Structure 1
Amino acid sequence: MHLLTASDLRIPTYPLETNGQAESLQIRKMSGVTVHGQNDLLISHRKGYYFLVLLWEGSGRHWIDTTAYSLQPHTLYFTVPRQVILKEELHPVSGFNLNFTEEFLALDGSGTLRQLPIIQNPHNGHALRLAPADMAFVQDILEKMYAEYQAAHPWQYTMLLAYLNVLLVYLSRLYTAQYHPLDAADGAVLLGKFRTRIEESFTQHHDVGTYADMLHLSAGHLSEVVKEQSGKSAIAHIHERLVVEAKRLLFHTEQSSKEIAFQLGFEDASYFNRFFKRLTQQTPLQYRHGVREMYQ
């Protein structure tokens, strides 16, 4: 890592350029390429523009200020000009790279775009995990922007600004949902939404991360709010719902433990048996025999 010394004076800021020519907006479609070049690898720097990457394939690692990020698919990464970037690893990625400057934002005479959370970035964020519907929406807008950017149509910048407006408003909604601290009332609403999602999907999804994606939140934030509101962890809510359904099927049906396991989304019946015993201190068959004896 290159540590900046007093002789460096300041962290370098890179302008938005294409082949040495200044630009106010730039959009690239990447297929198995590195996000950045090698020239500033392991050198702390800032970008003099807003930088967005929609990633659907690939990996890598970098730092934003004092936080390390390992790139993951189905995520939108973003930086604003004040953030300090350090690229630690480069690997081929596929997705879209959208860059734009303050000058391009100034084309919005109302000043609305500059006030959006994704631009203001009050929580110093960098990543937005995208649910499948969000991924499809954002990718569609970027596809349209890319096609417009490649063509030389009249009023090109007016069209690009219109697309950017839609994109930034949409991303700001996701940003607010993911980063904005919830008050007690909002927390109760979120707990209700989480329980509803579990009820809809517990036989397909057993992990907190998937439900967090559905609610446009990080898994850590969802777990924190659920624990605060209910006194139980988010994963405990999911497991309890599975156990309730398993008990119902064991008591009311003649399905085998293996059949019940598959019905509840467990690929391995032996894992389901261990899961059930860990939460109830009984195997599925022990529970079935015991509870049926009680009601004879």
Structure 2
Amino acid sequence: MQTGILPVCSLDLFDENFKHFWVDSLEGLLEKFPKLEYPHKNNFYTLLIIDQAQGEIEIDNEKVTLIDAKIIIIKPRCINSIKINNKASGKMICFSEDFFSLRYNNNILSQFAFLDRKAKTSFRLAEIQRQKIDILLQLMQEEYRLQKNETTKVIRSYLNIFLFELERLYSPMGIVKNRNIKQDKIQQFEKLIESHFVTQKMPSSYAEMLNISANYLNKLCKEETGQTAGDLIRKQIIIEAQRILHFTNYSINEIADKLGFENVSYFVTFFKKQTNKTPEQFRKEENH
């Protein structure tokens, strides 16, 4: 379903008094929060721990069918919609990056492989893996419900342990890998792109933000990703353009303006060069 305006949901959708973390049962989710059924963006991380459910979750252009027990990860800024039956069993955890980073080093959250922007959106959860996961979920939900002294700190600690347990399920051959300085710099660059790509499209602008030279930034990108700094910027612009084309009914003119292009013809040329399709062709094929 296309919409004219794509809403961005914050955590105060769930609880106006606790705006950085939320946890609850999946039962009756859409009755309580009907907005989740329609395409929207979140400015927070969402983890769905599915026991039994029927329905489908769409994350950008990927559809996850709800059949077996599984973990589903919805990262910030992804366009998503949740269609799930009212009798579904499982839990949903939402948290902001700031909430986690207040206690832990800013780089730690990024080290979890399943939270990486390129990671798969779901993985299966076997019955034998459930016991510790369920205990941690119960502890988090009870702490959230009771709101005792130092609740925020306790929840944050439980969340940290919970993420490590999910990492073990996602990457069973080893726990979190340490990132080197170059990888950290690339990740900082990618985050800056996500925040500034509308107004800043040149690698030199990001190099300045990172306090390095444009040549060194380009060298890092080639070494760590096999792509140039410009490639990564263009990739983010195309991803966002495709999201808007697929999930909204904004005109091509409006999309070009929203993405910071001076005129629509430049946007169309740019889009076709990167995808071998015009924006209109892409929209027609995706929504056929």
Task: Report the TM-score range of the alignment, normalised by the length of the smaller protein.
Answer: 0.5 to 0.7
The sequence identity of aligned pairs, in percent, is 19
Counterparts of residues 48-59 of structure 1 (less than 5 Å): 48-59=43-54
* Mapped pair 1:65 → 2:60: yes
The answer to whether the 8 A contact 1:118-1:172 is kept is yes
Structure 1 residue 78 corresponds to structure 2 residue 73: yes
Q: TM-score, normalised by structure 2?
A: 0.53
CA distance in 2, matches of 1:27, 1:118: 22
Measured in 2, the distance between the counterparts of 1:39 and 1:27 equals 17
Measured against aligned partners, the alpha-carbon deviations of 1:173-217 in whole angstroms (never above 9, x if no partner) come to 222349xxxxxxxxxxxxxxxxxxxxxxxxxxxxxxxxxxxxxxx
Residue 143 (structure 1) aligned with residue 138 (structure 2):
yes
Kindly report which structure 2 residues correspond to 1:212-227, keeping only aligned pairs within 5 A, or say none: none
Query: C-alpha root-mean-square deviation of aligned residues, in Å?
Result: 2.5
- Residue identity in the other structure for 2:45: Y
Pairs within 5 Å for 1:21-170: 21=17, 23-30=19-26, 32-35=27-30, 37-41=33-37, 43-88=38-83, 90-118=85-113, 120-170=115-165
SS at match of 1:161: helix
Structure 2 gap ranges (5+): 174-288
Counterpart CA distance in 1 for 2:164 and 2:155 is 14
Higher relative CO (Cα under 8 Å, sequence separation at least 6) belongs to 2
Larger Rg: 1
Aligned pair count?
Answer: 171
Query: 1:61 Cα shift?
Result: 1.1
Q: Residues 45 and 75 of structure 2 are in contact (CA less than 8 Å); yes or no, is this contact kept in structure 1?
A: yes
Deviation at 1:47, TM superposition (A): 1.1
Distance in 2 separating the partners of 1:128 and 1:74 = 9
Write the deviation string for residues 221-261 of structure 1: whole angstroms up to 9, x where unpaired: xxxxxxxxxxxxxxxxxxxxxxxxxxxxxxxxxxxxxxxxx
Distance 1:65 1:159 in 2: 33
Kept in 2: contact 1:74–1:135 (CA 8 A): no
Matched, 1:173 2:197: no
Letter in 2 for 1:25: F
- Measured against aligned partners, the alpha-carbon deviations of 1:26-71 in whole angstroms (never above 9, x if no partner) come to 11134x4235733353x32111111111111221112111111111
1:22 Cα deviation from its structure 2 partner: 5.7
Residue 121 of structure 1 and its aligned partner are, at CA, apart by 2.0
Query: What is the CA–CA distance in structure 2 between the aligned matches of 1:89 and 1:130, rounded to whole Å?
Result: 18
Asked if 2 retains the 8 angstrom alpha-carbon contact of 1:54 and 1:139, the reply is no
